[in-house]
Amino acid sequence: MSHPFTDLAIAQHARPAPIEEIGARLGIPKEALLPYGTGSAKLRWPFLKSLRDRPKGRLVLVTAITPTPAGEGKTTTAIGLADALRRLGQKSAVCLREPSIGPIFGRKGAATGAGWAQVVPREEINLEFTGDFGAVGLAHNLLSALLDNHFYQGNELHLDPSRLQWKRVVDINDRALRQIVVGLDGHRGPVRRDGFEIIAASEVMAILCLARNFTDLRTRLSEIRIGARVGDGSVTAGDLGAAGAMAAVLRHAFLPNLAQTLEQVPAFIHGGPFANIAHGCSSVVSVEAALSLADWVVTEAGFGSDLGGEKFVDIFCRQSGLRPAAAVIVATIRALKFHGGLPLDALDREDFGALESGMANLRRHVRILRDLLGLPVVIAWNRFASDTDAELRCVEQGARSIGVPSAECRHWAEGGAGAEELGRKLLEMAADPAPFRFLYDEETPLWEKIVTVAEKVYGAGEVRAKPSVRRALVQMEEEGFGHLPVCFAKTQYSFSADPRLRGAPEGHSLPVREVRLASGARYVLALCGEILTMPGLPSEPSSLRIDIDEDGRVVGVL
């Protein structure tokens, strides 16, 4: 599965269609597009409003087994599947999250697919795109500035500087900014501790992706809780009068972005909340638009079915009313061997013992989606060059033993043609309505929701939390937020809170160190273990291998 071109070179040698032509394939008139360059455009709001009463297509959720450092190719598979569905005569589209600059310049690299299953224009999408991340950061930091200005002007709302929960954001992995001190200019206002989070962790980003319209957007922004008053009560962005200006900053960022795959299938790329911190799905407005325009819409949820898939159902689907018809679990033979105990540098060799041990991880993900959430499941075996036919027969037999269809996928090397088997099995599986269900009821107390997810999804034997965490949950319930879903922030590399614990661990202890009320996004965030909302850079960041040539074209590993 090698190719002389890099992913970037393949994308740069592609011949994309004009964005107006891509829109026309879905019945989007030229005047409904707000072009950004020649390869992408936003959809204008009047056109989006006109779609509300149209019949909806069918939604497919692409998720994966527990991620490994070897990479599983979830985004690549989502793109390849959308391409394959079009080749099979279906009117298809793909909905993806926008890449965050932080991971691109850090460890993860580009987030636009790979090989012959990519979305383009690759460089623009990965590097700022239509400016949505910048707008989210500006809206967030505007609220931060208004907060500190409120202190400077006399603190009429009696904000307690020791109980603020609103930080600042930037879209670079910069661990030095996790903890800072502000107010050192010697003027009025408290000297206090503050910090930065990455933009993808901002509640503003989550709100952008969950709001249904501009009115809902502004309402949610006004509901953001920034801290507590001295004595009792809380202060919101609405109390500071910030919601209107924040919404104005986001007026263009709220509009979905249209791009295309290498095979000219329409691609909606919008919003970028992290799944290991936030809810990890693309925007409601982009998915709703795609479903009004296409017969089949492929979307992905971040990381595995535990972090991404469960949140997609219990947060995204609860708030949007959308329901997936089926789910695809992306798995690789290399990843199964890693979860079976092999070291990273030994994944290219045959080891059927490790492969069988690693199947426990796949079985857990099937159970989450099929047995807990009621979704028909198809497994996509993303084929790598080192995979042998004997290994493929082994994992296919393992899938049959748990009653799940699977398909070998070669979309990296062959584009949509390499995912046609997956597409056919998906169409067959999704022929009947899914017995879709949520993991828990809205009326379930918040602590019980956390325990339910921890035990049923993550296999925990106990959930540990300080009394302060339990008190905070009780206070949220007393204030009327007990109906909200819970959103776990934890490592993506394990079902446990320990990224070194591979496979499908059972009976472990899951520590919840902090809970936060995201009242505008309308969920309760449970931070587990050592997860951080501001990542750091590795010893050799990807940014060291990205450059431009004499004509300003991006070169390197992007």
Which residue, chain included where needed, has tokens 């043609």? Answer: 417
CA-only gyration radius of the chain, Å: 23
Q: Report DSSP letters for 132-181, one per residue.
A: HHHHHHHHHHHHHHHHHHHHHTT-TT-EEEEEE---EEESS--GGGSSEE
End-to-end CA distance of the chain: 19
Is residue 286 within 8 A of residue 298, CB to CB? The reply is no
Supply the residues annotated as catalytic. Answer: 74, 76, 97, 108, 275, 303, 384, 412
Structure-block tokens of residue 421: 């088997």
Is residue 88 within 8 A of residue 424, CB to CB? The reply is yes
- Helical ranges in 302-419 per DSSP H: 310-311, 318-320, 333-339, 352-366, 389-401, 411-414
Element containing residue 9 per DSSP (H, E): helix 7-12
Q: Treating both helix axes as pointing N-terminal to C-terminal, what angle do 420-429 and 74-87 enclose, rounded to 10 degrees?
A: 80
Count other Cβ atoms within 10 Å, centred on residue 437. Answer: 11
Q: What gap in Å lies between CA 7 and CA 547, rounded to an integer?
A: 15
Is residue 93 within 8 A of residue 294, CB to CB? The reply is yes
Q: What gap in Å lies between CA 8 and CA 125, rounded to an integer?
A: 12
Q: What gap in Å lies between CA 333 and CA 72, rounded to an integer?
A: 9
Q: What gap in Å lies between CA 292 and CA 144, rounded to an integer?
A: 37
Is residue 19 within 8 A of residue 131, CB to CB? The reply is no
The alpha carbon dihedral of 354, 360, 363, 368 has a sign of negative
Residue 15, class by beta-carbon neighbours within 10 Å (0-12 exposed, 13-18 middle, 19+ buried)?
exposed
Count other Cβ atoms within 10 Å, centred on residue 186. Answer: 7
Q: What gap in Å lies between CA 159 and CA 152, rounded to an integer?
A: 12
The alpha carbon dihedral of 172, 108, 540, 546 has a sign of negative
Strand segments, DSSP code E, in 18-165 are 33-36, 40-43, 58-64, 92-96, 113-114, 117-120, 159-164
